Amino acid sequence: MLLGSAGCESAEMIATALGVAIGSLEILLVATVLRRFWRFRRGFPWLIALALFFLLRGVDRIVVSFAGEPPPEFGLALDVVLLVVLVLLLLTIERVIAGLQFAEDAARYREREYDRALRDYRRLVRHRLANPLTAIVGSARALRELPADAPALREELLDVLEQEAERLQKISLDPTGALGAEEQALRPEPELELGLEGTD
């Protein structure tokens, strides 16, 4: 007999502890949601109502865990808050879906814009590197084949090598500097603001 009552008390203690733990977690969830999503309260009033529902439900669980029976007013308050949440959710579901669709469209646009900007950046760098490298390679080959009795031509080729090497150094430090006429079509930076306006 003693063992049966001890087991019953133990089960009640576990149920009480679980009720308090779950109720506390629900209240913690409410605090987290309100802290993180408070700025969206005007656009999504159902979120605030849902947070209130979980707050009352958490308090209800804790009260029931200690008292055994919830006060009847509490159950009524929970039902009213749940009803408000459901009505607000039904009234604003289209806005929620539109907001999610907008966010998805904006994310896709950003991804496409970053990909395009990366391709243009690579083309721009390749274009800017090709000219100095061609001049450097050509000058080096010409110097190899140059006869020893042409010091003026040697100086000219060395000047070209030096100028193109400096140009290459400058390009490597700032590859997106002022665009030349042939580079105007390339846009190496993403244009995010234009795309967001276009997705409305």
- CA pair distance 13, 142, nearest whole angstrom: 93
> Which carries the bigger pLDDT value, residue 112 or residue 29?
112
Closest CA to 113 of 193, 200, 3: 193
- CA pair distance 190, 107, nearest whole angstrom: 13
- CA pair distance 83, 45, nearest whole angstrom: 13
SS3 content of the chain, % helix, strand, coil (to 5): 85, 0, 15
Share of the chain above pLDDT 70, in %: 72
pLDDT tens-place string over residues 152-185: 888 888 888 888 888 877 776 665 556 555 555 6
pLDDT tens-place string over residues 70-89: 666 666 676 677 677 767 76
- CA pair distance 125, 102, nearest whole angstrom: 34
The mean per-residue pLDDT over the stretch 113-132 comes to: 81
The mean per-residue pLDDT over the stretch 132-158 comes to: 85
> Which carries the bigger pLDDT value, residue 123 or residue 1?
123
CA angle 142, 143, 148 (to 5 degrees): 120
- CA pair distance 140, 133, nearest whole angstrom: 10
The mean per-residue pLDDT over the stretch 112-129 comes to: 82
The one-letter code for the residue type at 157 is L
Q: Which two tokens stand for residue 10?
A: 């133990």
Residues with Cβ within 8 Å of 64's Cβ and at least 6 positions away in sequence, in order, are 19, 70
Task: Give the CA-trace dihedral at 107, 112, 118, 123, to 10 degrees.
Answer: -170
Q: Which two tokens stand for residue 62?
A: 């804790």
Question: How many distinct helices (H) and strands (E) make up the chain?
Answer: 5, 0
